[in-house]
Structure formats: C-alpha cells, structure tokens
Structure 1
C-alpha cells in the first residue's frame, strides 16, 4: 500500500494551494495582521523608526523563542509493547501492511479518538498513535485494524509539506471563528469550501487504502461504530457530569456504564441515527458525510483480522483507572472526590434539567403553564418563527459563527422542547423506557416514544402535529 497512487488532491495546482494556504492563514490571524498593518502605517506616517524598533525587536524575539522552544505535552498514557503485546503487534502489523515504515509509539487516551501524529523521541522522528480506550474496548480486532490503517494512510497522503500546511491553516481558520475578532463569515465559509477540494478526496483515499488492508466490511463497520461510540460517550459524559459534579463525586465505572449504554435497546438506535445524521455544516466538514464515504468504499475481502472480539488488553483495569482520573475535572484527579457507580444510581437521577427547561420555556413564551408554552412553541415550529424562539431560549446562539447558527438554533430548540415534553409526559403518568435517558418513554399502552426524535422531526418538517397530539395529556397548572 505504500506505493498506492496519489489521491486526486495531489494533482491540483500548487499555485492554487499556496494561495489558499495564504488566504486561510491571513483570515485566521486577522487580529495580528491588522495590528501589523497599523504599526506599519504608524512607521510610515510618523517616520520615527528607532523607538518602535527597539520595542518591537524584544517582543518579536521572545515570541519566536517561545514558539521554537515550546513543546506541547503529549496527551494520553504511554503503552509499551511489553505491557500490551497484542495491541503493539496489531499496530505494527497494520503499519507494515500499509507500508508505513517509521518508528511508532502508542498512547491510550480517555476519549473515543484515534489519530497518528508526527512527533520526536530522543531527537529522532517518530509517529505516535493515539487510541481511545472506548475504541480499544469496543472495536473488534478487524475494526481496530481498519481505523489504524485509515490513520496511517491519511498520514501518507497528507505527508507532503503543501498538504500539511493547508490542513494546519484550515484548522487555524476553524479555531478563529470563535474569536472576538474574526474574518467575515462569508469569507470563512468560502475558504473552507475551497479547502474541501483537497480534504474530501484525501479522506476518501485513506478510506480506500484501509479497505484494501483490513477489508471493506471492517472499514464500514468501524466508521459506523466510531460515530456511535462517540455519541454515547458524549451523552454519558454530559449526563454524569450534571448528575455528579454538584455532589463532589466522580463515576468510577464510566466505561462499564458506556458498555451498558451502548447495549440499551432504546438508546443505541438513537445514537446510531445521530451519528449517521451529521449536523455539522457542510462547509466546515473535513470529510464527506458518512453515507458518501461508505458508498465510495471499494470492495475488498477481509484479511484475517479477528472480527469477533476486541484486542486483549493485559492491563485493562489499570488503563481504565488512569483514563477515569484523566477525565475528572480536578487538578488532583479524583483523590478529593467521592467514587460513585453510575450503574447503581436510581434512573430518576438521570432526569436532568426537565423542570428547569419547563420553567424557562414558560418564561420566554410568556405563558402560565407548560401546556401553553408547548403550544406556543408548536405554533412557532409551524410558521417558521422557531428561530426567534430558539434565540430567546439561548441568546448565546447569536455569538455562534454564522455557518453554524442554524444548526445551533435547531439543537437548542430540540433539546429544550424535548426536555419539556418529556417532563410533562412523566408528570402525566408515562414511565421511562431506559435508565439512561428521559427522552424515550413508555405510554399508557406500553408503546415506546422517542420524544426527542418526535420534536426533531417536527422542527425539520415544520409539522408539529405529533407535539400537538400530546397536549391534552399535559397538566394545565401554572408553574410560575
């Protein structure tokens, strides 16, 4: 695989690429560029160069020294081959099959993440593989080989200087859109779309190389499960943080709870659907949508990787404890906190924010009851004015970069209205279908209802009929 043909991105005009790198770099660093132009203008106007030079040179010198000498701390827990021989063997074999012949280091990280980064060790160039513990615990050997092969292939295709600089400039531009001073949204969006002519074929080429190494079926399953595990981890992390932070506790069984969440018959399909339905604005996406990537995979048979079980981890308990400590938001780790098992908590503990969401919606709609507030929200969904309602629910939407504003507004409305409707149904006697979420409920006849999916469909289709059908069951008592 090391001699694979270059992806279509490599045949594009270098002049266009360098121009795009320059434009994204300027747009991402608008503040220092403007300051530099202001200083230059002052020099030209006042013609008093010496004081400014004496002031500027030390500042520039310290900045350069800091940039050159700064070495960011590598995240994750270093894993030596002797400690985890099966994992080390898999990483080495995948790298050999794809033709990635560089010294490799492996580090386990707490999040469901995977990547290969160019690093240095003892003065020599190495590449460090970052592998999330949730993936190492959940993916089969074949699926793990597939995601590793894809990351190695991506490094091969993105290894030339021009592509690395373009990807770095793109990352900087994305980070800049959250800054106070940023380039106009239209300019940012156009530059990001222009960069996709390089990044999308790059992603597809890496997917294809991974299929040739690990088999198409393994790559397809791995890409799908990556999204599902990430969605589950985010949901569990947010829920556990809201439930435990105020109690001074931390979830010692976080990864066991993650396994249980992914096995939940009501929650798992929602997570898979959310992973497949990528809400990221198309202009910002580094790779094509998942459906496009799966459809573009060439057909290759599996090549002997274990498709039935994850790679054994010799120190699974030690890695789990380290990762839990890493995730706890305390400088001293969990030492000053009380350990709690999420699997032992009552399901009612996961009903987070239902009452607060109801009171807030009642307030912003000017109504006196939950039924009235939900009715107003349903009317807003029907006539398209829900955008203003979402802004009233969360004024911070106005600070979100313009390309992401519509998605953020929809997410805010769906989250708030979903909580309110779920809380009202629980008050009306409905019961939970899952310990992990109050958004999937069982009605009086025992039929499950995914409240969040109902609300999302209503917003996306501008048809709140499903919400209105539930209104007669709501309590009309005033809540303020």
Structure 2
C-alpha cells in the first residue's frame, strides 16, 4: 500500500525509528545494556582478550532480541467452527472484507480483550484472534465486526518488520517499569512520548479501515462500549473474585453482575467522568476516545446485524470456564462452591473501606479517623496534599514529574472516598447503588456524591465541604 506524507500510515524518517527501537530495547533491559557496555569497554582496554570478549556479545544480543520479539502465551478457550458457526462466519467475513487472507484461529478469553497475535500451529504460521467474552456477550454483531476488523487492519498496518519491532520494544519498555532494576522514569517517559505518535497514527488508520467494513456508527458504538466495559471489569471483578476465592466461593453469575453494574446510572456516570478527565499517559497506544471518534470517516456499513449479539451455542460452557479462569487455577476451581453475586450483600466486598481508614490514620499519625480526615483537609489548604498522597501510595513519587499531580489527586480522592463513604455508611447513611459506596443519601434525604465532593476540594484547594462532614465522622469514631 503506497503512502504519502499526509496519509494516516505515512512513515517518519526511518533512522529515527531505528534509533527509538534500539534505545527502548536497551532501556527495557538495563542489565543487558550494562553488560554490553562493559564488554565494549573491555574490547578497548583489554585488546589482548578481544577474541574471548567477543564471545559474550552474542549472549547480550540474544537477551535483548528475545525480549523484544517475545510473543504472548496462549490463553483462553479454542472456538471450533463446527461448535460456533455464527461467530466463525462473522470473523471470516470481516477478514475477507479487509483481504486479510491468512489461517485464523479464534479463542475466547475471560477479560474484555480483542487482539490478533501471530502464532504458529503445527509448524505453520497462523494468526490467533483473542475475543473477550464480556464483549462478545454485549456487542451487537455489527459492533463485534467493527472491533474484529479493527484488529485485522491494525495487524496489516503494523505488519512490517520495523513497525512490529517498534511496538514490541515499546511494550517491553512499558513492562520494565515494574522491574526492580529499571531505567530513570523521566527517560522512559520521553522515549514513550517520542514513539507515541507512530502508535496513534496506526490506531487511527485501523479505526478508519474498520469503519469502511462495519460502518461508522458501529465503530463509534463499539469503541465507546469497549472502553466502558473494560473500565467496569477492572474496577469490580478483581475485588469480586478475590473475596469469593478466599472464601471458597465461585461467582457463577459474574458476567450478569457486570451487566447490572454497567446498567447502574451512578456507575456509568463515574466511568464516563473518569474517561473524560484522565489525560492520555505516555504508555497509551491509542489517542483519547474523543479524538478517535472525531477522526472517523463516514461510512454507512451494510450487511451486519445492528440489533443483536452473535449467538454463541456454547455460551454456558464458555461462561463457566472463563469465570473459573478468573477465580483460580483449574484444579482449585473445581472445589469452589457456586454462589450468586447478585444475591450477596455489597458489604461483603467492602473490606477496602476499613483498610483505607486504617491506612489514612497511620500515614497521618492521627489516633482516630476523624482526625485523619481533618489532617487531609489541612493538607489541601497548606499545599502538602501531594506529599500526603505519596505517603498513601509511594508509587506516586516514582512517576515522571508531569504525571505526579494527576496520580496524586487520584490516590487522595480514592483513599478519602473509601474512608468517608465507609464512615457515613456506618453512621446510618443509605446507599443509592449496591455498586458504589461513594453515592449516598443523608438523613435529610439529600444526595451526596463523595467522590465528586473530593475532586472539587482537590481542584480548588477548598476543603469546606469535607470539614462539614467531620462532626459525623468524629461522632462515629467515638462510639
């Protein structure tokens, strides 16, 4: 496919990309880089040992190349055409519309994931499409075509050697931020920002191709749904499976409970607010949703069902297996007792509220929760709230400087929301939603969104509304 300087897949100066690849791969593995520098120094200083020193260079190169070209492990559950003909036909038709004519395998996974990964099966090169069950259940056929076609298109645009190495080196650099020995955060941030333009370019090109296949309305709806479902999944599911797994229970209606949470207006408004407020991080491989929607070309889209999802004939079996994947290993899951999440009181999943209160008391050096909240309010006034947020979560201090204020705000609001919401519930305030402890109704019948109150306090530096709640918190703590 020929590209021009103004096309969505036009390439920057190749030398710059190769330098980015080398820099990201090296910084993702600083130990290998250090060994390589030592070897090069030895080549210069110990010239008599040159034949022996050269032996170490292939080992260093192999370490870096292996990490950059590492491919994801297989996970999920295979979809066989005879068992799921409707899904198989839809995937095949989406691939054919894009002329993506390669051997394809499909696997259903428990998380809201959509990805196309190069694989090898019986020695032959194939591609495996990973489809998240939460998305297959919720998206219409047209919307599912949109996300599948988008992944095929992205694979086409990113299929050349230089682009694939750039993306893998970038992934390795992102993952390296969790390592014990890692490159300076500021340097990592600059490299991620420098390579981000290329990843965003690829994302917009894939979106445009998907719109040509599925229609712009389907792509627009699918992009919004994928973001919302993913955010809700990672907000709730880890807590659900963690608590129930510890107690030996198996949440057989996990995906139905997720649907119920997504249908809750308070959850939906919070997820939408978070999506709008959070600026894109350097690690983000796609532009913000608003920018992606604005960049979509207009296409009508013909031939796809816009009213219903694709029928899965093995849905019950896939649902059970996916939930077991989330809860524990296959062996342990067989011993768990089936329970229904929708029948369990929400308080069972709110141990984090008490843990947050204890942690805030500890980091503020106060004796009671009311005093800890008062200390947090004082920190907003005297400007030390970022220091308090770092005490709550030390990871804030390890972030690059441009990201610290936003992360500190999220940490402080999150902690105080848990503390204040939990204390108000104990004081007799009523919850509006079983899915959140931050939207409550007071004794006078007035609605209070604790997170919204705290965000405003952090943004303005005015904790007046927080201090108005202190008598209630202090009275509760004294009981």
The answer (yes or no) to whether the contact 2:146–2:222 under 8 Å persists in 1 is yes
RMSD: 3.0
- The CA distance in 2 between the partners of 1:200 and 1:69, in whole Å, is 21
Deviation at 1:242, TM superposition (A): 4.4
Establish whether residue 137 from structure 1 lines up as the match of residue 137 from structure 2.
yes
Equivalent residue number for residue 18 of structure 1? 18
Equivalent residue number for residue 239 of structure 1? 239
**Aligned pair in 2 of structure 1 residues 64, 456: CA closer, same or farther (>3 Å)?**
closer
The answer (yes or no) to whether the contact 1:149–1:210 under 8 Å persists in 2 is yes
Q: What TM-score do you get using the length of structure 2 for normalisation? A: 0.90
Worse-matched range after superposition: 411-420 or 103-112: 411-420
- The CA distance in 2 between the partners of 1:58 and 1:8, in whole Å, is 38
**Aligned pair in 2 of structure 1 residues 401, 82: CA closer, same or farther (>3 Å)?**
farther
For 1:302-321, what aligned pairs fall within 5 Å after superposition? 302-321=301-320
Q: Deviations over 1:288-309 (max 9, x none)?
A: 1111111111222232321111
Q: Deviations over 1:374-402 (max 9, x none)?
A: 12212222343111111222334344565
- The CA distance in 2 between the partners of 1:100 and 1:332, in whole Å, is 38
Deviation at 1:52, TM superposition (A): 5.2
Equivalent residue number for residue 127 of structure 2? 127
Equivalent residue number for residue 295 of structure 1? 294
The answer (yes or no) to whether the contact 1:94–1:213 under 8 Å persists in 2 is yes
Equivalent residue number for residue 166 of structure 1? 166
The answer (yes or no) to whether the contact 2:280–2:288 under 8 Å persists in 1 is no
Worse-matched range after superposition: 211-220 or 69-78: 69-78
- The CA distance in 2 between the partners of 1:264 and 1:107, in whole Å, is 30
The answer (yes or no) to whether the contact 1:211–1:218 under 8 Å persists in 2 is yes
For 1:35-50, what aligned pairs fall within 5 Å after superposition? 35-42=35-42, 44-46=44-46, 49=49
Equivalent residue number for residue 448 of structure 1? 447
Deviation at 1:311, TM superposition (A): 0.7
For 1:2-401, what aligned pairs fall within 5 Å after superposition? 7-42=7-42, 44-46=44-46, 49=49, 56=56, 73-278=73-278, 280-281=280-281, 283-330=282-329, 332-400=331-399
Worse-matched range after superposition: 3-12 or 51-60: 51-60
- The CA distance in 1 between the partners of 2:418 and 2:288, in whole Å, is 28
The answer (yes or no) to whether the contact 2:113–2:132 under 8 Å persists in 1 is yes
SS at match of 1:474: helix
Worse-matched range after superposition: 381-390 or 265-274: 265-274
- The CA distance in 1 between the partners of 2:459 and 2:67, in whole Å, is 47
- The CA distance in 1 between the partners of 2:410 and 2:420, in whole Å, is 15
- The CA distance in 2 between the partners of 1:254 and 1:4, in whole Å, is 46
**Aligned pair in 2 of structure 1 residues 61, 398: CA closer, same or farther (>3 Å)?**
closer
Provide structure 1 residue ranges, at least 5 long, that are not aligned to the other structure.
Answer: none
Worse-matched range after superposition: 436-445 or 40-49: 40-49
Q: Deviations over 1:240-278 (max 9, x none)?
A: 134324323232221121111112232222223334444
Deviation at 1:417, TM superposition (A): 0.3
The answer (yes or no) to whether the contact 1:350–1:438 under 8 Å persists in 2 is no
Deviation at 1:48, TM superposition (A): 6.2
- The CA distance in 2 between the partners of 1:422 and 1:340, in whole Å, is 27
SS at match of 2:474: coil
- The CA distance in 2 between the partners of 1:115 and 1:7, in whole Å, is 24
- The CA distance in 2 between the partners of 1:65 and 1:471, in whole Å, is 57
Establish whether residue 439 from structure 1 lines up as the match of residue 438 from structure 2.
yes
The answer (yes or no) to whether the contact 1:326–1:333 under 8 Å persists in 2 is no
The answer (yes or no) to whether the contact 2:109–2:133 under 8 Å persists in 1 is yes
Equivalent residue number for residue 425 of structure 1? 424
The answer (yes or no) to whether the contact 1:359–1:479 under 8 Å persists in 2 is no
Deviation at 1:42, TM superposition (A): 4.0
The answer (yes or no) to whether the contact 1:325–1:333 under 8 Å persists in 2 is no
Worse-matched range after superposition: 310-319 or 298-307: 298-307
Deviation at 1:70, TM superposition (A): 8.9
- The CA distance in 2 between the partners of 1:395 and 1:66, in whole Å, is 32
Q: Deviations over 1:395-432 (max 9, x none)?
A: 34344565654443333212210011102211332111
SS at match of 1:10: coil
Worse-matched range after superposition: 287-296 or 107-116: 287-296
Work out the number of aligned pairs and report it.
Answer: 478
Provide structure 2 residue ranges, at least 5 long, that are not aligned to the other structure.
Answer: none
SS at match of 1:353: helix
Establish whether residue 471 from structure 1 lines up as the match of residue 467 from structure 2.
no
Deviation at 1:238, TM superposition (A): 2.6
- The CA distance in 1 between the partners of 2:121 and 2:107, in whole Å, is 13
SS at match of 1:125: strand
- The CA distance in 2 between the partners of 1:309 and 1:29, in whole Å, is 47
